[in-house]
Structure 1
Amino acid sequence: MRLTSKPVLCNYYVTYRCNARCSFCDIWEKPSPYITLKDVKQNLLDLKRLGVKVIDFTGGEPLLHRQIDEFLKLAHKMGFITTLTTNGMLYPKLAKRLQGHVDMLHFSLDSAHKEEHDNGRGVACYDFVMESIKVARQLGERPDILFTVFKHNLKQLEDVYEQVILPNNLMLIINPAFEYNAVETGDRLTEEELSYLSAFGKRKSVYMNEGFIELRRDGGNHINDPICKAASTTLAISPHNELVLPCYHLGTKAFPVNANLYNLYLSEEVEEWKQQEGKLTACEGCTINCYMQPSFGVEVNKYFWKALPSTLKYNLYKGTWKRLLPF
């Protein structure tokens, strides 16, 4: 049973450029412009009309955009829930400009050990994450730690939890790595390792979406009975001001927005792409978290019920539910 036909999320790519060289990501290899404030203003108006609730200003490294604070302030003022994930390298410098405009602020950290984290990110950014936590807390912000899990760093969860999360009163978001295109993320997690993540997610101050675990146990999305609702739940807008379908990671078709996102999204041509969500050959076995999470939330099935407890836990902790109230 579908709960809503409206999209709930916009992944707004402010640039594909990045100051890190993560081994599990290829986005930094793409040439890229930066989005403009004029386009953002118009697109946010259209996203509001379409019913979108959450704007994720992403990249690349979103803090490379010199107007990122203006985008966040505008979206937040319009009533959107705003989210931003950063490697932390520029956050201490920009923190005061961002203060109060990011509902869900995530710092990426994949190990409690400097050398291991920096090796995975391709640059020395561990110290910046530690400084970012300190600065954010001093400003009254409530950042989260986004931990991308691979087989090789699974055992680091305990150290990050004990050494970083609890002492700083943060939320640990467990983000199981996923494969896409030609990006290699190593061997898939075993049933024993998935069970470990599931148990870890029940701890205080930890967010682990059980839907992600269940989907991996089931072998990912299956094109004959797709769970993915990427195109109908999520708008992916590129730095070129294009609507990318069925999702950013496949990027099969890009439609120029041309200051008309509302009508474009409801057009027959885009509707045809929505009908193919989760059904394309490349969609078989997909477990991409950023599209599965909104997919779990719009249709009542076993993944909905698996994801619900952790989703409620996180939103109650962060207080983001208040942003959805009409007053």
Structure 2
Amino acid sequence: MRLVKHPVLCNYYVTYRCNAKCAFCDIWEKPSPYVTLEQVEANLRDLKKLGVSVIDFTGGEPLLHRQLPDFVRLARKMGFITTVTTNGLLYPKNAEKLRGQVDMLHFSLDSIDRETHDRGRGVACYDFVMESIRVALELGERPDILFTVFRHNLRELEQVYQEITQPNGLVLIINPAFEYNGVETGEQLSEDELDFLSAFGKRKGVYLNEAFIQLRRDGGNHVAKPVCRAASTTLVISPYNELVLPCYHLGEQKFPIEGQLFDLYQSAEVQGLAALEGRLPACEGCTINCYMQPSFAVETSKYFWQALPSTLKYNWEKGTWKRMFAMSN
């Protein structure tokens, strides 16, 4: 049964440019403009009308956009929950401008070892993550550590938890790696490794969407009976000010917004493509967390019930439930 029939999330790509070269991502390879404040203002107004509650300002590296603090401030003023994920390279110099404006601030860290982390990111950023944590805490912020899990770094979760997140009172977010568009992430996690993650996710100060684990056990999304609700739960806006459908990672079609996002999203052409969510050939076996997270939240299924405890746990620890409750009234 569908519980929420309107989109809840916007993945807003402010640029595809990035100052890192992560091996498990191809976004940084793309040329890209920067979105404008005028575009963001117009689109946020329409996103509000469409019922969206969370804006994820993303990239590339979102902090490469010098106006990102303005975007986040505007979105929060309009009542949106805001989220930003950064590799940390530019956070210390922008921290004061972002202070108090990002509800869910994530620093990417994939290893306790400097060399290992920097090799995976293609640039020396480990020390910047550590500095970002220090600066954020000094400013009274509560950042999270986003740990992207592969087979090769799975056992490093323990040290990151014991030496970084717990001593600093941070939430450790476990982000199982996923493949897309031929971007390979190495050998898939075994059943025993999935069991290890599932158990780890139950610890205090750790967030793991258990439905992500179940989806991988089930072989991902299946076009015959899709669980993905990417296009109906999530709007993807590109740096070219286009609506991308059914999701960024497939990007089957792109529609120029031209200041008409509300009408565009409700148009027959867009809704027709949205109806194919999870049913396209490329959707078979998909486990992309970015779209499964909202998909599991809007429709009752075994994934909904498995995702619910961790979602409630995270929002309780972060305090975002208060703002979400206020927005619903």
Matches of residues 64-103 of structure 1 in structure 2 within 5 Å? 64-103=64-103
Query: Secondary structure in 1 aligned to 2:142?
Result: coil
Shift of 1:49: 0.2
Matches of residues 98-113 of structure 1 in structure 2 within 5 Å? 98-113=98-113
Query: Secondary structure in 2 aligned to 1:11?
Result: strand
CA RMSD of superposed structures (Å): 0.6
Partner amino acid, structure 2, of 1:241:
N
CA distance, structure 2, for counterparts of residue 260 and residue 126 of structure 1 = 41
Tell me which residue corresponds to 2:33: 33
CA distance, structure 1, for counterparts of residue 125 and residue 154 of structure 2 = 20
CA distance, structure 2, for counterparts of residue 266 and residue 156 of structure 1 = 45
CA distance, structure 2, for counterparts of residue 75 and residue 319 of structure 1 = 18
CA distance, structure 2, for counterparts of residue 12 and residue 196 of structure 1 = 33
Shift of 1:4: 1.2
Could you give the per-residue CA deviations for residues 221-247 of structure 1, whole angstroms, max 9, x where no partner exists? 000000000000000000000000000
Unmatched segments (≥5 aa) in structure 1 = none
Query: Secondary structure in 1 aligned to 2:11?
Result: strand
Shift of 1:274: 1.0
Shift of 1:303: 0.1
Shift of 1:322: 1.4
CA distance, structure 1, for counterparts of residue 290 and residue 231 of structure 2 = 12
Shift of 1:323: 1.3
Could you give the per-residue CA deviations for residues 105-128 of structure 1, whole angstroms, max 9, x where no partner exists? 000000011000000000000000
Query: Secondary structure in 2 aligned to 1:300?
Result: coil
Q: TM-score, normalised by structure 1?
A: 0.99
Shift of 1:285: 0.1
Residue 285 in structure 1 maps to residue 271 in structure 2:
no
Partner amino acid, structure 2, of 1:321:
W
Partner amino acid, structure 2, of 1:315:
N
Partner amino acid, structure 1, of 2:235:
L
CA distance, structure 1, for counterparts of residue 39 and residue 98 of structure 2 = 20
Tell me which residue corresponds to 2:7: 7
Tell me which residue corresponds to 2:135: 135
CA distance, structure 1, for counterparts of residue 89 and residue 301 of structure 2 = 40
Tell me which residue corresponds to 1:252: 252
Query: Secondary structure in 1 aligned to 2:239?
Result: coil
Shift of 1:160: 0.3
Partner amino acid, structure 2, of 1:245:
L
Query: Secondary structure in 1 aligned to 2:82?
Result: strand
Tell me which residue corresponds to 1:216: 216
Partner amino acid, structure 2, of 1:242:
E
Matches of residues 280-319 of structure 1 in structure 2 within 5 Å? 280-319=280-319
Shift of 1:182: 1.3
Partner amino acid, structure 2, of 1:5:
K
Shift of 1:54: 0.1
Tell me which residue corresponds to 1:179: 179
Query: Secondary structure in 1 aligned to 2:63?
Result: helix
CA distance, structure 1, for counterparts of residue 17 and residue 321 of structure 2 = 32
Unmatched segments (≥5 aa) in structure 2 = none
Count residues with an aligned counterpart: 327
Residue 190 in structure 1 maps to residue 204 in structure 2:
no
Partner amino acid, structure 2, of 1:311:
T
CA distance, structure 2, for counterparts of residue 4 and residue 172 of structure 1 = 28
Could you give the per-residue CA deviations for residues 249-292 of structure 1, whole angstroms, max 9, x where no partner exists? 00010000000000000000001011100000000000000000
CA distance, structure 2, for counterparts of residue 288 and residue 184 of structure 1 = 13
Shift of 1:52: 0.2
Tell me which residue corresponds to 2:59: 59
**Displacement over 4 Å in runs of 4+:** none
Partner amino acid, structure 2, of 1:196:
F
Query: Secondary structure in 1 aligned to 2:264?
Result: helix
CA distance, structure 2, for counterparts of residue 229 and residue 184 of structure 1 = 24
Tell me which residue corresponds to 2:146: 146
CA distance, structure 1, for counterparts of residue 84 and residue 294 of structure 2 = 16
Could you give the per-residue CA deviations for residues 123-166 of structure 1, whole angstroms, max 9, x where no partner exists? 00000000000000000000000000000000110010011011
Q: TM-score, normalised by structure 2?
A: 0.99
Tell me which residue corresponds to 2:49: 49
CA distance, structure 2, for counterparts of residue 170 and residue 70 of structure 1 = 26
Partner amino acid, structure 2, of 1:64:
L
CA distance, structure 2, for counterparts of residue 242 and residue 134 of structure 1 = 37
State percent identity of aligned pairs.
72
Partner amino acid, structure 1, of 2:6:
K
